[in-house]
Amino acid sequence: MMRNYLQLGCFLTLMIAVVVSVVTSLPTWFGGHLGGYRLIVHMMASGVVVILLPMYTVLRWGESLRNQIGTSLEPIAFWTMVVFGFLTIGSMFICMLPIAGTGTQREMIDLHGWLGAVLAIAVVLNLVLYRKRIAAS
């Protein structure tokens, strides 16, 4: 029972952090720049994602593998969120290492944006499927 509440709290907080990350990055989708307070808020939300994504994955892993509750789309949505979440985190991590040149860093930042967009879609899909599962029970 407590695990379910912890799982729900992790997911809801993770979802809010992803929404904040998407909202703060919206101007960059149209050629804008991510800087100032928007960058600070984006980085704070990213820190939440970096901490809660592994935690939520561990809390949900056993359930996801054992109980294929709901539709067959639910495990796919979960693993898509996990994989693209870690890829989004990793793409920015590579930019922070002193191994990539300016061109590579720019490419990784673009990749980070696309991976983050897929992560956001996967989070929304997980929310929709979670609500369906709760409504069905």
Question: For residue 17, what pLDDT band results from cuts at 50, 70 and 90?
Answer: very high
**Residues contacting residue 73 through CB under 8 Å, at least 6 positions apart:** 125, 129
Average pLDDT of every residue of the chain: 88
What percentage of residues in the chain have a pLDDT greater than 70?
91
Q: Mapped to the 3 state alphabet, what secondary structure does 24-82 carry?
A: HHHHHHCCCCCCHHHHHHHHHHHHHHHHHHHHHHHHHHHHHHHCCCCCCHHHHHHHHHH
The residue ranking higher by pLDDT, 62 or 74, is: 74
Q: What are phi and psi of 113, to 5 degrees?
A: -65, -45
Give per-residue pLDDT as tens, 84-137: 999 999 999 998 888 878 888 889 999 999 999 999 999 999 999 888 777 766
Least confident window among 43-52, 61-70, 80-89, 90-99: 61-70
- pTM (whole model) above 0.85: yes
